[in-house]
Amino acid sequence: MSDINILFGSQTGNAQNLAHVIGESLGNEGFNFVVQDMGEVDPEAIYHMKEIIIVTSTHGDGEPPDNASEWMSFLKFEEKLHLTHINYAVLSLGDSYYPHFCQCGKDFDQYLSKHGGKPMVKRLDCDLYYEEEYEEWLADLIGVLKNRVQE
């Protein structure tokens, strides 16, 4: 079984911390995973991945965090990107007070889908107090991943 790639885009550390919590939960279920800072992974590495979980915050006026901007540009502007081999999930952190609530996660979801990626679960847009919100999403994702292993 290949590793599940948990990629985080984080400006203040919340998405990074949550990515590690998700990884720990996957590890407890017996999955192989790797948690990576998007700023330290070449976006072209996506060609060698099969399952991706993106955990990202939104910065400024709907922009990606600094460490996720290269990935965002790659997915947005790479014309001949074929990602039909990718199964993905996006968890987006934001603050509903701002007009571009969770925009970065929405954009990642849109671009991955546009290039043929298949969502494993519906994107989750979390407000400030996400601790309870993401648990059901994660349980659904783990269920999907377990079913994929059995196929």
The gap from C-alpha 135 to its chain's centroid, in whole angstroms, comes to 15
What residues are paired with 36 via a beta bridge? Answer: 7
Q: Give the C-alpha separation, 28 to 5, whole Å.
A: 16
Tell me what the pLDDT averaged over the chain comes to. Answer: 93
What pLDDT, on the 0 to 100 scale, is given for residue 151? 60
- Span 4-150: which CATH code? 3.40.50.360
Q: How confident is the model at residue 96 (pLDDT cuts 50, 70, 90)?
A: confident
- Spell out the domain ranges in the chain: 4-150
Q: How confident is the model at residue 1 (pLDDT cuts 50, 70, 90)?
A: very low
What pLDDT, on the 0 to 100 scale, is given for residue 60? 82
Q: Phi then psi for 110, rounded to 5 degrees?
A: -60, -45
Task: Identify which of 112, 115, 117 has the alpha carbon closest to the alpha carbon of residue 85.
Answer: 117
Over range 31-48, report the average pLDDT: 96
Flag whether pLDDT at 38 surpasses 70: yes
This prediction has a pTM of 0.94
What pLDDT, on the 0 to 100 scale, is given for residue 111? 97
The two tokens of residue 67 are 């460490």
Task: Please give the sequence-ordered ranges of beta strands (E in DSSP) within 1-151, or none if there are none.
Answer: 4-9, 33-37, 51-57, 87-93, 118-119, 124-126
How many CB atoms within 10 Å of residue 36? 16
The CA-atom distances, in angstroms, between 101 and each of 57, 97, 133 are: 9, 8, 16
- 54 or 94, which is more confident: 54
Over range 7-31, report the average pLDDT: 95
The CA-atom distances, in angstroms, between 25 and each of 32, 46, 74 are: 11, 23, 29
